Amino acid sequence: MPEEAENVEKESSPGPFWSGTISFGLVSIPVSLFPANRSSRVHARALGPEGVPLGRRYYSSKTDRELPSKEMVRGYETEKDKYVLVTDEELDRLAPKKSRDIDLREFVDLNQIPPIYFERGYFLAPEGDSTKAYLLLSAILEKTQRAGIATFVMRGKEYLIAITAENGVLRAETMRFMDEMRSPRDIGLPERVKAKAERSRHFIQIIQKHASPELSRDELRDETSAQLLKLIEEKQRRKQDVVVTDEKKDGGDAAPDLVAILKQSLAGRTGQRPKHSHAATARTARRPHRLQTHFSKRAHR
């Protein structure tokens, strides 16, 4: 969802990245939006042979000439090799009107929203003296198992959300718009057929044998990232394959040859280590979406 959220997800106690008002009827509840998840993925930065992080540049595929940003325009491909140009000013005129309202337009049963529509989860926290109204809305949504459907605007983009409640806490689930969805038919899934009774009993027996009353927390662990972090920490402890990208910290000496370092490491050599000790940095980046609010139990099954 919003790119702003990505900057706070890695913090243990992130601050809100959006504040506004939930509105329905004559009721207004000031709230703040917090990310409900943080990334545990280990992200690597691409480095060149001299140990410097690589940057992204744009160039003309026709002339191979590198282009500055002032020479770039946006073009939307309508057919192969045919584009319609759109200016920044035209995009600005199409941008949704700035607002701090989450206007709940309708309330639907949760089971009317296929899970595939949900994209990302966020917590809503009460602001100011809105706690009583916040808790009342949360209790009613949780009791009735309903979701409030709304759109809200942030940084010039419009997002579709479903507001739900669990354990007294309001949650905002950003949703994919209808035109982002594929149907089973789009990817060639077969039509439903009735299975033979004997085959069904066999499947049921297997499932019952491995049934569990609740989801194990061990199943939710990212073992790949944990193993990668363990490897990184161990190599850092041994000062193996560690490089610093800032030459000033290195006394201004020539940067190390990363290709040679990695070849030496992969060959399993234990001789003299490279002269320069270095530390690499890692970063992250991400995205958002488009519109419709009517759902059917049958949709995309």
Per-residue model confidence (pLDDT) at position 278: 38
Give the count of domains, the chain: 2
pLDDT greater at residue 174 or residue 217: 174
Domain extent at residue 126: 3-41+94-180
In a domain, 129, yes or no: yes
Residue 14 lies in a domain: yes
For residues 265 and 30, give the distance between their C-alpha atoms in angstroms, rounded to a whole number.
Answer: 57
H-state helical runs in the chain: 3-6, 88-94, 131-144, 197-209, 223-237, 258-266
284 domain residue, yes or no:
no
Mean pLDDT of 243-272: 56
pLDDT of residue 109: 95
**How much is the average pLDDT of 235-241?**
83
pLDDT of 100 > 60? The answer is yes
Q: To 5 degrees, how large is the angle CA 243–CA 246–CA 250?
A: 75
pLDDT at 267: 60
The pLDDT of residue 272 is above 60: no
Confidence band of 179 (pLDDT split at 50, 70, 90) = confident
Question: CA 265, CA 275: separation in Å to the nearest integer?
Answer: 14
Per-residue pLDDT, 263: 59
Question: Which pLDDT score is estimated for 164?
Answer: 94
In a domain, 187, yes or no: no
Same domain, 116 and 238: no
Per-residue pLDDT averaged across 38-48, rounded? Answer: 77
CATH of the domain at 150: 2.40.290.10
Domain membership of residue 50 (yes or no) is no
Average of pLDDT values for 8-37? 78
Same structural domain, 99 and 172: yes
How far apart (Å, rounded) are the C-alpha atoms in residues 152 and 100? 7
What are the φ and ψ backbone dihedral angles of 144, each rounded to 5 degrees?
Answer: -90, -5
pTM for the whole structure: 0.61
Decide if 167 is inside a domain: yes
Q: In what order do the strands lie in the sheet with 146-154?
A: 101-103, 18-24, 27-35, 118-126, 169-175, 157-166, 146-154, 106-109
